[in-house]
Amino acid sequence: MQWRGRRQSRNIEDRRSRGGGSGGARVVGGGSLGILAIVVIGWIFGIDLTPLLQDASVQQPQGGGQITAADEERAQFVAVTLADTEEVWADVFAEQVGRPYDPATMVLFKGVTQSPCGGASGASGPFYCPADEKAYLDTDFFVTMERRLGAGGDFAAAYVVAHEIAHHVQDELGILSEANAIRQRVSEREANAISVRIELQADCFAGIWAAKADERFDSLDKGDVGEAMNAAKQIGDDTLQRNAGRAPNPHTFTHGTSEQRQRWFARGFDTGDMRECDTFSADRL
């Protein structure tokens, strides 16, 4: 991916040195791994992370520490990728929605921080919080992707950023609030099924971003799409559960299978059309 020397977004809130943020409410939005990954990644690393699910209002130790050269490079990469999403979605909203796009803020942290949606840690994975319209990311997660999940490469990392910003796109369109309101009124099994549709649509929107970014910036290298597809595969619910030593249980899926995540990303990439990302009306996911 060609990203060096290009515009960086100013919509970055950098908490890596000081930690911080607001404590608060229960989790209401999804992320690239989200709630399931708090448990599954905990299984993989042998860490009990369930307190993050049980009581998100409890203040967690804040992040911070020395910022290395690698940390800074990853932060610059995120800032460039975020800038790309801002330009692409501004164009897509103008062409397909007929109104301006209001960009999200990306919070960078190191270790642990707080959000209105609860505590965040590198182990829980990136997530989007609709309460403050911010995406939260510990850039060390990119290292986890490469070393623990087998999803390395700069465009795999870009896919993660694009997926979280896609949740903001859903929020802008009113999709996320409506879907989450329904999830609160139904059974856990039904709520999980709705969550899968939310996440697969975000994958589809990420595919739209990837195609449009390449058209606008000529930024993709050979093999970049393959990196994103591999990342989608490695963070599918079925693959995560198998890698955690458990048999896949579809009723617990919240993000979709590896095959579904790959297919919906490809659908967005191939069509560039938001209407083609309507997972909520799809008979087959």
Listed in sequence order, the residues at least 6 apart from 191 whose beta carbon sits closer than 8 Å to its beta carbon are 183, 184
DSSP 155-196: HHHHHHHHHHHHHHHHHHTTHHHHHHHHHTTS-HHHHHHHHH
Read off the DSSP letter of residue 109.
E
Instruction: Note the pLDDT tens digit of each residue in 167-224.
Output: 999 999 999 999 999 999 999 999 999 999 999 999 999 999 999 999 999 988 889 9
**pLDDT per position as a tens digit, 53-88:** 333 333 333 455 678 888 899 999 999 999 999 999
Q: Is the pLDDT of residue 33 over 50?
A: no
Amino acid at the residue 48? D
- What's the rounded Cα separation, in Å, for the pair 97 and 226? 29
CA dihedral (92, 264, 131, 174) positive or negative: positive
Here the tokens at position 37 are: 């990954």
Domain boundaries, the chain: 12-277
Question: Both tokens of residue 59?
Answer: 């203040």
Q: How far is CA 87 from CA 76, 94, 129, 255, 273, in A?
A: 17, 11, 21, 27, 16
pLDDT band with cut points at 50, 70 and 90 for residue 225: very high
Contacts of 280 (CB under 8 A, 6+ apart): 175, 179, 197, 201
The confidence score (pLDDT) of residue 231 equals: 92
Q: Is the pTM of this model over 0.75?
A: yes
CA distances, 181 to each of 28, 82, 130, 194, 252 (Å): 9, 28, 12, 11, 19
Amino acid at 269: F
According to DSSP H, which parts of the chain are helical? 34-45, 51-54, 69-92, 141-147, 154-172, 175-183, 188-217, 224-234, 237-243, 258-271
Tell me: pLDDT of 26 over 50: no
Q: C-alpha distances in angstroms, 196 versus 140, 174, 199, 242?
A: 26, 17, 5, 18
Distance CA 69, CA 67 (A): 7
**Contact criterion met (CB below 8 Å) for 265 and 279:** no
